[in-house]
Structure 1
Amino acid sequence: MDIMKDFKDDIAIVTVNGKMDAVNAGQYQEAIEVLLNDGATKFAVDLSGLQYISSAGLRSILMGGKLIASKSGTQVICGLSGMVKEVFDVSGFSTMFSVLETQQDALVQLGG
């Protein structure tokens, strides 16, 4: 799994590529924690490059969302497709989080 962090204005863009499973899911949560500690409060989480997510990955996404909420932050998830979209839909994560089609849609919703 590869996690890239970038900023557009005051929005942290977190792009996740590859596979998020029990071996590496904690890296996502750590990346969110670092950004929060650096003062980020708006997150666009782009999963368009994510090909696989396990239950450990879902847990990491959930914990990241809780961390963001605990700091009065906002998170928008975007770019879901294929198996990852199906897992989000079946698990209820699609209704638990704000999920949009594209990164641009997420940036607009977050005010960027």
Structure 2
Amino acid sequence: MTIATERSGDVLVLLPQGRLDSNNAAAVESEILAHVTAGTNRIVVDFSGLDYISSAGLRVVLVVAKRLKQAGGALVLCRLPAHIREVFEISGFLSILKSADTREDALAAVSA
């Protein structure tokens, strides 16, 4: 799994590619939380390149969302492929996390 990063103003855009599962969840969590610890408090995650997410991956998303909320920031998910969206829907995460269809909409939502 790789995570490319981009900046849009003061918003960090993460672009995970591959599989987010128990094999790499701890490393991914550490990598993202390092950005939060360094002062980033608004993050958009573009899931268009993600092939698979497990419960361990869902936990990473939840931990990051909670940490950002504590820091007065926000997390918005976007461009979820249908099979990834289904995992988030079944888990109930889409009822507690913000999501958008496009990156532009996600950037607007995280800045609101």
Q: Same fold (TM over 0.5)?
A: yes
- SS of 2:22 mapped into structure 1: coil
Q: TM-score, normalised by structure 1?
A: 0.92
Cα deviation for residue 14 of structure 1 reads: 1.0
Partner of 1:102: 102
Percentage of identical aligned residues: 34
- Consecutive aligned runs of 4 or more in structure 1 exceeding 4 Å deviation: none
Deviates more, 1:22-31 or 1:87-96: 22-31
Q: List alignment gaps of at least 5 residues for structure 2.
A: none
Q: TM-score, normalised by structure 2?
A: 0.92
**Which whole-Å CA distance do the structure 2 matches of 1:111 and 1:70 have between them?**
16
Within-5 A mapping of 1:1-112: 1-111=1-111
- In the TM superposition, what whole-angstrom CA distance separates every residue of 1:47-81 from its partner, at most 9, and x where no partner exists? 11111001111111111111111211111011111
Cα deviation for residue 9 of structure 1 reads: 0.7
Contact map agreement 1:76 1:99 (CA 8 A) in 2: yes
The one-letter amino acid of 1:11's match is V
Contact map agreement 1:2 1:18 (CA 8 A) in 2: yes
The one-letter amino acid of 1:44's match is V
- SS of 1:3 mapped into structure 2: strand
- SS of 1:40 mapped into structure 2: coil
Contact map agreement 1:28 1:61 (CA 8 A) in 2: no
